[in-house]
Amino acid sequence: MFDPLAAQRNDLAALADKARLRRLLPRSGVDFASNDYLGLANSPRLKQAIDAAIERGVPVGSGGSRLLRGNDPEHEALEVEAAAFFGSESALFFANGYGANSALLSTLPQRGDLIVYDALIHASAHEGLRMSRGEAVAAAHNDPDSFADAIGRWRAGGATGQPWIVAESLYSMDGDCVPLADLLALAGRHEAILVVDEAHATGVFGEHGRGLADGLDGRDNLIVLRTCGKALGCEGALVCGPTVVRDHLINRGRGFIFSTAPSPLMAAAVREALRIIADEPERRERLRELVAHAVTQLAPLGIAPSGSQIMPVIIGDDARTMEVAAAVQEAGFDVRGIRPPTVPTGTSRLRISLTLNANAEEVTALAQCLAGVLE
């Protein structure tokens, strides 16, 4: 019998055979899986900000694209406040980081340009690169020399376009940080534009939670993406950079032009989240203490510190990874297994995400559980 969805069924079966079939799981157990690093997602202050916005008549839905009637005063107020907070010339609010990354990289680089991206860059950046008119080449992870060599080869071939350097400041699956100063110096030497995704650093690092790019904004060759759905506890993303970048995305960014604008209520919530991370530095201090405690607890298992709140436990085999994850979840700890294509083949892992939704005693209990399961 003819099956119009045979290709999809076969694809799912192939994923299952490789122990790579994904499924949605309910929230259960102590949070070691979310990106809610500062525990803001359930913050009373964010709830109060939403209530206050509703009281003053802010609508739930935007009603359309920002270029139609969807442009709300809350969006504009957030963008002005975010630009001032981070020290950038301008900011543009998107519904999520995936959309912002794909719009940015599919719009700004032009035909004849070169985009050199870190080999471990996020899938959303790859989506933008796929649609970009520029030529894209990978550089070795966190290796400034590899970026420089790619630009050098391109120039040696007679290219005259604009080079772009694309990296994350903190990588979500390894937890390691980029040598940002080196990449910025490299961009200066090669007259390149540096695009930095601060998704997992915003709120956690820098003065007042401004991230690892704190103090660098305002340069005409730097664009910084800051997502609002991780440490800020909300949704959305902010592209921060020169005003010409904002204007070009508004005029040429199809992902911005043809998308319904984010909820004005969410813009109000993000405004409050920025105030919280500035007002409550003790959240970052508590997270640093929790990370330090986790390092001491996990070291006996051979788990090296990553330098951040994200601590991977590399297992390798896909099926074994999911068996370990299931055992840890059964013990009451929400730790998820990560498999290809999210991570390179042979590096399947548990991703331990440290957030203020867990405490030191729970971290100790997780380490004890892992010790038993990994044996």
Domain residue spans in the chain? 25-42+281-374, 58-279
Known catalytic residue: 248?
no
Integer Cα distance of 227 and 237 in angstroms:
4
SS3 call for 8 = helix
Q: Single out the catalytic residue among 43, 74, 122, 142.
A: 122
Q: Which pair of structure tokens corresponds to residue 3?
A: 């099956």
Query: Helices 73-86 and 264-279 sit at what angle, rounded to 10 degrees?
Result: 30
Q: What is the DSSP letter of 80?
A: H
Contact assessment for residue 71 and residue 97, using Cβ atoms and an 8 Å cutoff:
no
Residue with tokens 């007679």: 158
Q: Single out the catalytic residue among 106, 172, 259, 348.
A: 172
Question: What is the helix (H) or strand (E) element at residue 16, kind and residue range?
Answer: helix 6-17
Task: Determine the length of the chain.
Answer: 375
Q: Which pair of structure tokens corresponds to residue 232?
A: 């800020």
Integer Cα distance of 196 and 149 in angstroms:
19
Say what the pLDDT of residue 310 is.
97
Residue with tokens 């599919």: 106
- The residues of the chain scoring below 50 in pLDDT are none
Of 303, 304, 235, nearest in space to 273 by CA: 235
Known catalytic residue: 168?
yes
Say what the pLDDT of residue 1 is.
87
Residue with tokens 């995704």: 197
Within 8 A by CB and 6+ apart from 124, the residues are 97, 98, 99, 100, 101, 102
Known catalytic residue: 172?
yes
Known catalytic residue: 42?
no
Say what the pLDDT of residue 358 is.
98
Q: Single out the catalytic residue among 79, 102, 142, 230.
A: 230
Of 45, 91, 29, nearest in space to 240 by CA: 91
CATH architecture of 25-42+281-374: Alpha-Beta Complex (3.90)
Q: Is the peptide bond before 341 cis (omega within 30 degrees of 0)?
A: yes
Say what the pLDDT of residue 211 is.
97
Say if residue 217 is exposed, middle or buried (CB neighbours under 10 Å; 0-12, 13-18, 19+).
buried
Q: Single out the catalytic residue among 200, 217, 334, 353.
A: 200
CATH architecture of 58-279: 3-Layer(aba) Sandwich (3.40)
Known catalytic residue: 293?
no
Q: Single out the catalytic residue among 168, 198, 235, 334.
A: 168
Q: Single out the catalytic residue among 31, 35, 106, 118.
A: 35
Q: Beta strands of 90-162 (E only): which ranges?
A: 90-94, 114-118, 135-139
Say what the pLDDT of residue 20 is.
92
Contact assessment for residue 233 and residue 273, using Cβ atoms and an 8 Å cutoff:
yes
Say what the pLDDT of residue 82 is.
98
Say what the pLDDT of residue 17 is.
93
Question: What is the helix (H) or strand (E) element at residue 298, kind and residue range?
Answer: helix 282-298
